[in-house]
Structure 1
Amino acid sequence: MKIKKITVMKFELPQLPYAANALEPVISQKTIEFHYGKHHQAYVTNLNNLIPGTKFENSDLETIVKESDGPIFNNAAQIWNHTFYFTSFSPNGGGAPKGALAAAIDAAFGSFDNFKKEFVQAGVTLFGSGWAWLVKNKEGKLEIVKEGNAGNPMTKGLTPILTFDVWEHAYYLDYQNRRPDHLAALWDKIDWDVVGTRY
């Protein structure tokens, strides 16, 4: 008797730490349902279909992001990027960072307000789809970098601290073509307790 091989899903869509409507009006429930529920889920499904039989079938997500390319990289990085992005928010977010991260932002950008301006500017000026990132470099200093498409700064030896998604699917239902308005509004939902632990 032949035993049918059962494929076990390696990666799963992570649970959000808040309800789908909890970030309104900055991010609407409809955007969460499409962006998280459909786009993020599609990357998970695609990766699970792509890795069987490859050297990555038993790898963790970070290893796949750092070592793969092509469709495997695109889907793995988008899972990682989106998970990082969605877990940066809280219904009670906003305000400003504290402690070591606050001091590092002041040292790198002069002030928190100046950092916010530079970070939004990076997101606004990224052509096409991609991500604006706050990262820590190998010397421990903060930088703002831009990555197109599924780009992730870990592939360059940088440590991600915060990211804003500037793919149109992140904001078009709520802001249409007003990317700057979307980016400016996100600060009201940033969970600085979570983001601060990444530094």
Structure 2
Amino acid sequence: EFHHGKHHAAYVTNLNNLTKDTDLASKSLEEVIKVAAADLPAKQGIFNNAAQVWNHTFFWNCLNKGGGGKPGPKLLAKIESDLGGFDKFKEDFKAAAVGQFGSGWAWLVLDGGKLKITKTANADLPLAHGQKALLTVDVWEHAYY
């Protein structure tokens, strides 16, 4: 409740207030992120809030009651070929999350057709770097209280 009902809701409210009566108000969330990312630091507030709305929404969609375990056969084969196996993926993904200094995110991304594990600080996200996010974990401290 606190994470979704307070933090995520505040990002949505802030983004709506920052884009109200602007040309960004009619754009998709992804378009807002791309426009703001291309105009930093002038649009830093918009970027931070839009990215955090996207990051959290994606994170909620990554959660699954009773989740865990191996992915389907196609993704598993890609993990094995690109990341050295499922166990190595889990180890490296966990290390990325634990090794994130300060607030941020750990990600499994598709970058140029290849799976990679990466991490981003603060509100940054793979979308701003031309990558496709497949999985994330929130390593902001507010995710754990």
Q: What is the TM-score with the length of structure 1 in the denominator?
A: 0.68
- Identical aligned pairs, as a percentage? 53
Q: 2:23 aligns with which of 55, 58, 63?
A: 55
What residue in structure 1 maps to residue 63 of structure 2? 89
The residue aligned with 2:117 is 144
Equivalent residue number for residue 107 of structure 1: 81
Q: In the TM superposition, what is the alpha-carbon distance from 1:53 to its structure 2 partner?
A: 2.9
> When the two structures are aligned, how many residues end up with a matched partner?
139
Q: Structure with the greater relative contact order (CA < 8 A, sep ≥ 6): 1 or 2?
A: 1
Where does 1:187-198 land on structure 2 (aligned, <5 Å)? none
Show the 5 A alignment for 1:1-199: 33-68=1-36, 69-138=43-112, 140-171=113-144, 173=145
Task: Summarize deviations over 1:143-195 as a string: whole Å, max 9, x none.
Answer: 01111000011111101000110000011x2xxxxxxxxxxxxxxxxxxxxxx
Specify the SS of the correspondent of 1:131.
strand
CA distance in 1, matches of 2:91, 2:98: 10
Distance in 2 of aligned mates of 1:52 and 1:94: 40
Whichever structure has more strand as a proportion of its residues is 2
**C-alpha distance in 1, partners of 2:67/2:118?**
23
Name the SS for the 1:150 alignment partner.
coil
Q: Alpha-carbon deviations, 1:78-110, whole Å to 9, x = none?
A: 000000001111112111111211111111121
Gap runs ≥5 in structure 2: 37-42
Shift of 1:54: 2.4
SS at match of 1:143: strand
Could you say what secondary structure the match of 1:57 adopts? helix
CA RMSD of aligned residues (A): 0.9
Aligned residue for 1:146, secondary structure, equals strand
Identify the structure with the greater helix proportion: 2
Distance in 2 (alpha carbons) for counterparts of 1:52 and 1:60: 13
Consecutive unaligned residues in structure 1, runs of 5 or more? 1-32, 174-199
Distance (whole Å) between structure 2 residues aligned to residue 39 and residue 154 of structure 1: 21
Following superposition, the deviation at residue 55 of structure 1 comes to: 2.5
TM-score between both structures, scaled by the size of structure 2? 0.92
Output the CA distance in 2 between the equivalents of 1:147 and 1:93: 24
Q: Which has the larger radius of gyration?
A: 1
Kindly provide the amino acid, as one letter, of the partner of residue 39 in structure 1. Answer: H
